[in-house]
Structure 1
Amino acid sequence: MEANVGKTDRIIRIVAGLALLSLIFIGPKTWWGLIGVVPLATAFINFCPAYRLLGFNTLGK
């Protein structure tokens, strides 16, 4: 796996993942908040499979 997630993209993914996970405990208290695990995981491993399929790379050169 070659890293393809840049610093800014990583920060956005962490914030979005935590916001989605908060739906489990705050607000509507729905299990849909577990979707937040996906952006968190891709942020921590610096790899997004969808980016590879689409040919994106926010990491830079």
Structure 2
Amino acid sequence: MSFDYKRLIKFEHNIGEKDKKVRMVSGVVLLSVSLFTASILMLLVGLVLVATSYSGWCPAYSSMDKNTLGNNTASES
């Protein structure tokens, strides 16, 4: 598996609706819990999950050539 930075900077949508909902709910839960526990790590992870859910693009999915948009699944190599 080779690393291709050009895939990372395309910013193509690669998160499906179900994945967006899961990311949004888990991100909001982590943000809420981080307010009570004062955990910076939970806050950062929650922010990343909410931001990727809102934008519809995940840089980790781009680097792995993964796609959860319904029928447009990425080919497995």
Query: Any idea what SS the aligned residue of 2:33 has?
Result: helix
How many correspondences in the alignment?
60
User: What's the CA shift for 1:32?
Assistant: 2.6
Q: CA RMSD in A?
A: 1.2
Match of residue 32 from structure 1: 41
* 1:1-61 equivalences in 2 (<5 Å): 1-26=11-36, 28-34=37-43, 35-60=45-70, 61=72
Higher RCO, 1 vs 2 (CA within 8 Å, ≥6 residues apart): 1
Instruction: List structure 1 segments (4+ residues) > 6 angstroms apart after TM superposition.
Output: none
* TM-score of the aligned structures, taking structure 1 as reference length: 0.85
Overall identity of the aligned pairs, in %: 38
Q: Which one has a larger percent helix, Structure 1 or Structure 2?
A: 1
Counterpart residue type for residue 51 of structure 1: Y
Q: Structure 1 regions of 5+ residues with no counterpart?
A: none
